[in-house]
Chain A
Amino acid sequence: MSDSSAQHGAGQAASPAPSPAPSAAGTASRSQQQQQTPGASVMQTPGSLALNPSQGMPGTGMRGVHSSQPTPATLRRPDLGHYVGFRMPHTSAGRRSSLAPSDSVPLSSNEMDADADQTFIWGTNLSVSRVQARFNAFIRTFKEHGTDDDYKYMQLLQETRARNEISFNIDGGHMYEFDRTLYNWAVTYPAETVPIFDGQLAAIAAELEGRDPEECQIQSRIYNLRETKVIRDLNPADINKLISVSGMVTRTSGVIPDQSLALFCCTQCGAEEVSWNDRGKVNEPSKCPNAACQAKFSMQMVYNRSCFLDKQLMKMQENPNEIPEGETPHTVSMFARQDLVDLAKPGDRITVTGVYRAMGVRTNPRLRELKSVYKTYVDVVHIQKDEASNLFSMFAAEESQTQATELEQPNQGPSQDTQRRNRAVGHTQEDGAMLHTSNMTREEMEVKRQVFKELASDPNIYDRLVASIAPSIWQLEDVKKGVLCQLFGGVSKKLPCSKTRGEINVLLVGDPGVSKSQLLSYVHKLAPRGIYTSGKGSSAVGLTAYVTKDPETKEMVLESGALVLSDRGICCIDEFDKMSDAARSMLHEVMEQQTISVAKAGIIATLNARTSVLASANPVGSRYNPQLSVVENIQLPPSLMSRFDLIYLLLDKANEATDRKLARHLVSLYGNGVGRLGNEADIIPMETLRDFIAYSRATCFPTLQPESALALTQAYVEMRSMGMSRKIVSATPRQLESLIRLAEAQARMRLSEIVTLDDVAEAVRLMKVAMQQSSIDPRTGQIDMDLIQTGVSASDRTMKAQLVGELRNMLELKAGPTGMRISDLLAGMNEQSSVRISERDLRVALVELEEFARVQHGVVTVRA
């Protein structure tokens, strides 16, 4: 305590004392400071009213106000409650009474008890002095539970003063823990107790600093009440109570200058009179107060000697998760004042602590008595912003924040003072660093995080994730694993000169009816910012779409731009093979550079399109032809093919067991409404899965350890050498990059920061599985990356060379001057050859022999 307080004391001494507003009159500036509690309202304390002048309170203006507004004796109630009506003025401008000037308040409760029966809070049996005493005790002696630290709020008070701030946040939980009665008083009579708190804080601060309490203005802001309500749960019983509601800000008004005090000047004699804002009205004196003048209607307001406070009207709507199904969100209006103005912006999710008010509304401005309807609003005491606009960015923001603090820590030096101060600030201030908008409260976030951690630590997490992806599709385990890797994604790396993508692209090729589309639409639903488009008629850019008539089928077709929209998401492209070449060529850039260039009106814009592509294509001729190679089956440009990390070949093999399972599921779904998939226990609900993926992508950035890097290298070398031995190129550097991404995705599934050997092994296995299915050379049965890279396999290449040679021989031998018909040539070649030669192969070979032979009308002649 002594350590830090000394430092703060010094700091405080150095800093200038809070200076009054320069333009305001003396009385005005002081009263401005006294006006600061938004929730403050009329506190009727007849006893103190009598007390004040006797103690020589300066400021006749204030006294004048009091006397102009006598408390009706009939409205004083000895009992609590049973009071509904216009107790509160509808603006906050009702003043805090000056009954508790801190110098007049004895700080020990013994002394307080002496006059305890003299000063009551209006309408209650609550004596001001008892509130003061208890609050004093709370501030002076509260220690956080379980700590043997300094007195928390004393320290906070010093810090607040040292920072020259006015807001002093009091955790409602602490108050409740310390003194339940005080807490209940604060919640039940906020308009009366809160100003007392302020006065006490000022008094304590003044005592510590040896100043006049008038110079130590502090506003207490209570937050973290025991109950946070939903807007729709507010009811008339809450009126004039301190409440806490959560919601989303939808609208804010501009800053409204709210006159708190008007200074009137007599145009005849120059006499001045101060008038307070009383429940939204400033009474203009009709007569000059100067006894000598007494001129009627001569008073004129002097604007630049009057006081105005910032005021802002905000509207808050219920959070989406708090609205019961089949209802619309409710809204509540709020008034924020002074330093709370502009704290929350539309779209922010906040928890507000404030006083709930009801104000009579005249439906007809001309008739006074139609005040049967009330307008409700909240006078805001405290705003807490507690969320991010979505899970993804929230976690990301938090992560960067913790990283930042970790970085800061060593710089600041491990002084105990700093740490303690950090902690104190973190606990009691508004968590000012978390100024981003948010979607979820802190506790909810914490709960989610726990759920995710638990999920991630499950040893079976991999299997569970696989089972949770499109649970109604059986088999295709490895495809699902690949898609899962894509969802989690690798880590994009920024190298000094370039950057590599972390996104994993997957291509599914297969027969119709093998649930490709289903898998795609499932991923689309699951992925953050997923876009689903059909290859037919999708262009790469644009937010609008064009409806055209397909000239072939006369069907209307929608052309939409998808890729830009799915930045940082997954773009699912169905019927990839039917995509127009122009659109497909765009994908080249997207899939490797992760940008998209748009040329319009002479300007070339490069937009980010950090998207993973999940594409599905039908083989040429709709059904996979096992006789042809994969590349021949797909008919996609090899340059595009090589950009896919994983290419899966889905061949429909009818499996009665899974068909039966599916049938049972559907029948029960339609019969009694409950589907039976048989593996529900392991399935992670879609919502959770989506959040888990978002969380993992936002917070988990696994790195390769030396041993896993070594394993990767080994695997890569192995894959390459496997081909080398048979004179086939089997893997390329692109595959190495893919392997790294896959391994990282594996680690992300466990929320692990380290890529382990197992991850590498699984990545290699996935890669091999995908390659086996897609890159088997139908003739040799070997993995042959050349098929993907160039479209021709190594054995093909040898065979082609052989064929050309044979063909040349045959033409030399048999083709006379009249030449040979191609069909004869084909028959002749097939007689010789061990493998069947197609006419297509033959023609390709003939093209190579162009210099030697000429093809005309199906007849081959040897050039002279």
Chain B
Amino acid sequence: MEAITQPLQLVRSLYAARSEADGEDYGVTARFSALVTDPELGPQVPMLTEETAELLPNQCLVRYRGLVQDMLNPEYYVGEFRRPDGTWATAKYADQLDEALPEAGPNGGATRIAERRPLLLVPVPGESSWVAAPRAAAARASLAAVVAAAGGASGGGAAAAKRPRDGGEGGEGGEGAMSVSMMASDVTGQTTADDGDSAGSRARLAAGGAAPASGQPGEGGGSSSASGAGADLPPGCCMAYVYGEEEVKLNDVVEVVGVVSRVPELAAAHMAACGAGQESMLVDDVLAAHLPTSRVPRLHAILLRKGSDADGVTAAAATAAVPGLAPATVREARARALGFLSQVLGGDDVAAEYLLLQLVARVHHRTAEAAVGLLALNLVAEPKSQVAAALATAAAAAKAAAGAGAGAAPAAAAGLSGLGGALAAALAALAPRCVALPLSIPGLNASPWWPRRQPATQRLAGGPLQLAAGTQLLLDETVMASGTLSEVGLRNLGALQALMTRQRVAYDFEFFTLEQPADAPTTVLSLGRSLLKDGVAVTLPLRPTAPLADAEAVAAAVQGADLAPLRAYLAAARAADFSIAADMEAFLQKELAGARQKDREVTEVTFHTWMNLARLMALSHGEAALTRERWAAMQALESRRQQRLAKPA
């Protein structure tokens, strides 16, 4: 427990006990790895989330999980220094030194400069509530224990000055934590009480969580005036410092265990920088990495792990599911998933089948021009059909509701149509991450969607297209109306197109752009063929036989069903590798060439689509190799799609 509440003390004692051979890491990693994996203590390490950020004691050990949004310039800091008595001390994993850096003297004053890498971590965009909720619950539970312990423990070192206040807060915070931890069990029980829109629920929690935090005088004073700094960042982000050589890439989902640190003075520093004018250009990148901690807490990473449960299935379920999903289980799960999706789509089995394929898609590998392994799907609500009519009325209703200002459905608030909201909810219920973006003229023109580095802040402004790998992207084009697209809007469309066709997003770094790989299966919902038709590989008109679901209905359905096996099945299917046997290759070659002989409309593009679909079809059946049976199934599915496409002509 001491290691959790006073991790720096442990680090320093390890440093003091180091031997020459130890080098940079004097057993810190090993010691803390043991702690985290310890069945007893591990779960007690509190989780840093938006709500717990204000309640956690300063300089305690926390966990954090997030997306690497930006990697800032490496920072040089005093790694070690010599005290006047001639002993060396470490300043690793801390923002402030407990003791004043000694002035030059006969023994002390010497310092060693070391390097650390700041990473800007943000909560994983579009993370589904079924992934986030258990974490939030765990965070609340762990908080209770730590705050109590910290409140009871006697302070030491630099924290001493802060202790009394922390202690006082600990009491009240502890009480609060107790009550939330009781609530937490509720949340886990009914997983998705309000999960239609997890962002909304987070916002509410944030509003609630902010109340006890207002009693932080140091930051409270500065935060109002320095609110400009970091205002563009999403709530719940944090600045993590990496000390080791761990390889981290942009858009990785990482889990960090480290020492949380609050430096109230930073807000004041930002305020001072605002007035400094030109000279501040020198330190602006330092400031970029030192945002006011009221908004962006600082985390000194001791352990860093790449998203182990990136697919969001809880660890236990994943390990059980991945190696050998029994064929019967797969069959059952697949049928259930299809049923669920078909229910959402008003009984349209074909569309449900295609949507299921979207859910198991990921980038398998890349060629120079394209990414192999996923397809952009365009679900078309045909004009004049009843679907369109339903959408139109729904949109009108939503608009009216929004205009009335009260009782607007969450989907309408997010700018999605009724069906869009329902689809988003359904995808979110099955996939670990799902981002739904309404495509409308004002939305597209409003701001750049592609990530870009802002000269003013020296940080990357994420934009909706900075996504973690494996995020389902839903574009709702049904809300589009006539109007003029500005240059920004056009570039947004271009970026979407590039994402759909090549799975790459160009990041704008002022004087050049860098293309970063993405992995986001995209589904477009539109009236008539999509504006992005050049990026769409599969266009499918919807033919519902029953009324379409709306977001509330989907949420209700999700709540009523046990979707865990479905999620496990989809995660396993997504992760599986794939190959084509030699004899199958020969068969396919004959098939393709034959198809072209028969129908000259069949082109290379069609071949690509077929190969992708066949691959996904096999994967969705839990098979790692393509069989003739799946090929035939794909062909049957495609012919049903072609029939639909042909009808109106």
Contacts and interface: CB of A to CB of B under 8 A. Distances in A.
Interface of A: 72, 74-75, 84-85, 232, 235-236, 239, 248, 250-251, 253-254, 256, 313, 315, 317, 320, 323, 325-333, 346-347, 358, 361, 363-377, 472-473, 511-513, 515, 518, 525, 534, 543-550, 553-558, 560, 652, 654, 656, 659-660, 662-664, 666-673, 675, 685-686
Interface-central residue, B112, B364, B383, B509, by most chain A CB under 10 Å: B509
B550 to A, nearest CB: 23
Contact of A326 (B75, B278, B487, B516): B516
A328 B71 contact: yes
Nearest to A685: B368
B413 interface: no
Contact of A669 (B367, B455, B531): B367
A372 B100 contact: no
B290 A363 contact: yes
Contacts of B441: 547
Contacts of A330: 73-74
Contacts of B626: 671
Contacts of A515: 603-604
B232 to A, nearest CB: 16
A686 B368 contact: yes
Interface residues of B, number: 108
Contact of B580 (A327, A368, A672): A672
The listed residue with most B CB atoms (<10 A of its CB), out of A251, A325, A525, A659, is A659
A566 B188 CA distance: 57
A457 B285 CA distance: 49
B482 to A, nearest CB: 5
Contacts of B643: none
Given A515-B604, A549-B482, A556-B531, A328 B593 contact: no
A323 to B, nearest CB: 6
A654 B596 CA distance: 8
B540 to A, nearest CB: 15
B592 A662 contact: yes
B95 interface: yes
Contacts of B600: 511, 513, 652, 654
Given A654-B596, A686-B368, A546 B509 contact: no
Given A328-B507, A358-B76, A663-B593, A546 B372 contact: no
A369 B97 contact: yes
Nearest to B70: A328
Contacts of B593: 656, 659-660, 662-663
A377 B612 contact: no
Interface core residue of B115, B514, B534 (most chain A CB under 10 Å): B514
A367 B77 contact: no
Contact of B485 (A85, A239, A547, A671): A547
4 tightest A-B contacts by CB? A326-B249, A671-B580, A554-B383, A663-B592
B208 interface: no
A546 B481 CA distance: 11
Contacts of A361: 283, 286
Contact of B509 (A317, A555, A686): A317
Nearest to B460: A328
Contacts of B278: 253-254, 256, 313
Contact of A667 (B71, B115, B486, B588): B588
Nearest to A365: B272
Contact of A236 (B114, B453, B507, B511): B114
Contacts of B507: 328
Contacts of A667: 580, 585, 588-589, 592, 611
Given A248-B511, A513-B603, 11 more contacts: A320-B509, A328-B72, A329-B514, A333-B282, A365-B269, A370-B96, A374-B76, A375-B283, A554-B528, A557-B531, A666-B604
B517 A670 contact: no
Interface string B105-133: 01001111111000000000000000000
Contacts of B37: none
A363 B272 contact: no
Contact of A358 (B113, B251, B614): B113
B596 A659 contact: yes
A565 B114 CA distance: 49
B282 A313 contact: yes
B143 to A, nearest CB: 28
Nearest to A389: B511
B250 interface: yes
B589 A660 contact: yes
Contacts of B511: 248, 250, 317, 346-347
15 contacts: A84-B111, A251-B455, A317-B509, A320-B512, A327-B250, A369-B99, A370-B265, A373-B75, A374-B75, A374-B113, A513-B603, A659-B597, A666-B592, A670-B580, A670-B612
Contacts of A555: 383, 527-529
A317 B510 contact: yes
B585 A671 contact: yes
B384 interface: yes
A686 B370 CA distance: 14
B604 A472 contact: yes
Contacts of A377: 282
B482 A548 contact: yes
B286 A373 contact: yes
B486 A373 contact: no
Interface string B278-293: 1101110110001000
Interface string B497-532: 000000000010111101011000000001111110
A669 B110 contact: no
Contacts of B601: 512-513
B635 interface: no
Contacts of B484: 544-547
A355 to B, nearest CB: 15
A363 B612 CA distance: 54
B263 interface: yes
A369 B100 CA distance: 5
Given A364-B265, A373-B77, A313 B113 contact: no
Contacts of A368: 100
A662 to B, nearest CB: 6
Contacts of B77: 372-374
Contacts of A323: 514
A670 B611 contact: yes
Given A239-B113, A323-B514, A372 B608 contact: no
Given A513-B601, A546-B484, A84 B113 contact: yes
B580 to A, nearest CB: 3
Contact of B250 (A232, A248, A328, A365): A328
A367 B272 CA distance: 14
Given A326-B249, A372-B95, A652-B600, A365 B268 contact: yes
A372 B96 contact: yes
A547 B365 CA distance: 35
B611 A250 contact: no
B282 A84 contact: no
A556 B589 contact: no
B490 A250 contact: no
A673 B364 contact: yes
B602 A513 contact: yes
Nearest to B477: A556
Contacts of B28: none
A367 B98 CA distance: 13
B101 interface: yes
Contacts of B585: 664, 667-668, 671
B101 A372 contact: yes
B83 to A, nearest CB: 13
Contacts of A669: 367, 372, 611
Contacts of A254: 278
Contacts of A663: 588-593, 596, 607
B46 to A, nearest CB: 25
B281 A313 contact: yes
B480 interface: yes
B484 to A, nearest CB: 5
Given A544-B486, A545-B490, A547-B483, A373 B76 contact: yes
